[in-house]
């Protein structure tokens, strides 16, 4: 079995976390891919590293994001078998991970600041719109580039193969005359 690489997805998520100022959870699609391609222990370590990166970039108490990332990995890793390795599977698994991470983030905010407001507008934004945006982010930045790469690779191979065949036919026609 060929070992599947996860570092390109980590680079995409890291660049998104560092340079894009949108209120999304940047490592959520990476977690979905990570759970599908690695063992539980490896997934826990890598998610702890991603949580550490998010801790360095966030204003919450240090260690909170690491704890949230490893807790989410521990609880959601077992559900990886129910999602297919297709864009729709990545989209739906990212949606579930995003809702769970948002829930854990809300709990941690409530523990550190009990005056944190919980309104209907906040609920709709945090638990409906942002997970959908995370799922769309997974589709656009994690699934579609791979689909486009495979398509271009197939077209490139077809072009070179046809080029060689036409060259061979041309040479055969020259030698036949």
pLDDT tens string 149-158:
888 888 877 7
Q: How far apart are CA 112 and CA 60, in angstroms?
A: 9
**What does the mean pLDDT of the chain come to?**
87
130 Cβ partners below 8 Å, 6+ apart?
23, 24, 25, 98, 102
Please give the pLDDT value at position 62: 93
Indicate the pTM of the whole model.
Answer: 0.82
In order of 4, 5, 23, 44, the CA distances from 39 in angstroms are 12, 13, 29, 9
Q: How far apart are CA 131 and CA 74, in angstroms?
A: 20
Query: pLDDT grade, residue 136 (50/70/90)?
Result: very high
Section 30-34 average pLDDT: 94
pLDDT at 1 over 60: no
């Amino acid at each position: 079995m060929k070992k599947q690489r996860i570092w390109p997805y980590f680079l995409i998520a890291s660049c998104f976390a560092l340079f894009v100022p949108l209120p999304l959870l940047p490592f959520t699609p990476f977690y979905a891919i990570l759970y599908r391609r690695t063992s539980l222990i490896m997934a826990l370590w890598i998610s702890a590293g991603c949580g550490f990166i998010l801790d360095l970039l966030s204003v919450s108490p240090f260690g909170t994001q690491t704890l949230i990332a490893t807790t989410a990995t521990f609880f959601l890793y077992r559900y990886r078998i129910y999602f297919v390795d297709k864009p729709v599977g990545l989209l739906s698994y990212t949606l579930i991970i995003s809702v769970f991470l948002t829930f854990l983030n809300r709990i941690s905010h409530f523990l550190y600041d009990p005056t944190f407001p919980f309104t209907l507008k906040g609920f709709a934004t945090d638990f409906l719109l942002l997970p959908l945006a995370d799922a769309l982010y997974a589709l656009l930045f994690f699934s579609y580039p791979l689909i486009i790469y495979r398509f271009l690779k197939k077209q490139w191979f077809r072009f070179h193969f046809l080029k060689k065949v036409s060259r061979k036919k041309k040479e055969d026609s020259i030698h036949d005359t």
